[in-house]
Amino acid sequence: MIEGFTSSLAEVNGTRLHYVAGGQGDPVVLLPGWPRTWYQFHKIMPLLAQRYRVIAVDLRGMGDSEKPAAGYDKKTMARDIYELIHALGYSEANIAGEDIGSMVAYSFAANHPEATRKVALWEVGHPGEAFNDLRVLPQEGRTTGPWWFGLNQVRELPEQLLEGRSRFLIDWLIDYQASGPEHFSEEARALYAAAYDTPDAIRAGNGWYQTFGQDIADAEHYPILTMPLLGLGGVHFPFVPALLEGKVADATYVELKGAGHYLAEERPDERARELTAFFG
């Protein structure tokens, strides 16, 4: 555990969420991505805690949170976070998310604008029609396409292939999508592998992908976001403004050139500075 932070559980929206909290000030909620846990923010949490109450959450199906049979659409997951914030005594919060967490952050802002002060998301954003055009075959400058999108759509087979072997997947994704493997310690890699080594954990993580169709349909009815939004990106930066085009009234975009996909761990100092400057 990070010094100054505590680990807790909360029963919200019919499920149990695990979260890690520390610091004092306005609440900043951090939402992680696949295939990682709240720990992906361990480098930026102490920096943000100098000014904010930092709450890093294991999403529904992630880490030490419950792994129910359903509810992996981002609207339901956003409701989880909404109820958690209220359970912790807050009526509103700043929301920040990476990867799957960015999808939940956007859905939170769209479905609970009264509880959203500001929202920051990166790498990449909520599922939209552009997801239907993703190319699995390698494109120029890339050695492979996002094959894991397809794998995670398949039911039962990923559990059979990956149970007890998730470390191979973790290492490949980090080495392929990060700007450098040195950003990830052996401890972090082992922690993520352990978090996705069981059939239930693999099934739950895949559930976030298997609901993309529902997420796209839900988003068609979302209002234009009016709260300030910060969109950031590294290797996938072009997707960030593309997915938000016409959907947000007050957006600021920042590209971290040379960065890979895992910004919270690759560029923690820059991430903390950007978030602090944005949330104020």
202 and 163 Cβ atoms separated by less than 8 Å: yes
Instruction: Evaluate whether 60 touches 66 at the Cβ level (below 8 Å).
Output: yes
Active-site residue (options: 209, 215, 218, 262) = 209
What six digits make up the tokens of 76?
Answer: 């339901």
Cα–Cα distances (Å) from 260 to 39, 55, 82, 218, in that order, read: 18, 24, 30, 29
**261 annotated active-site:** yes
**Max intra-chain CA distance, the chain:** 49
Tokens 């949170």 correspond to 65
Closest by CA position to 121, among listed 40, 29, 187, 53: 29
CA distance 186 to 137: 31
Question: Of 80, 106, 261, 262, which one is the catalytic site residue?
Answer: 261
DSSP-based helix, strand, coil % in the chain, nearest 5? 45, 20, 40
Q: Which of 73, 99, 215, 218 is catalytic?
A: 99
Q: List the structure tokens of 224.
A: 């234009």
- Residue 41 neighbours by CB under 8 Å, 6+ apart: 30, 32, 56, 264
Residue 192 has φ and ψ, to the nearest 5°, of -65, -40
Is residue 99 among the annotated active site residues?
Answer: yes
**CA of 248: how far to CAs of 106, 112, 230, 239, in Å?**
10, 15, 10, 15
The set of catalytic residues is 99, 209, 261
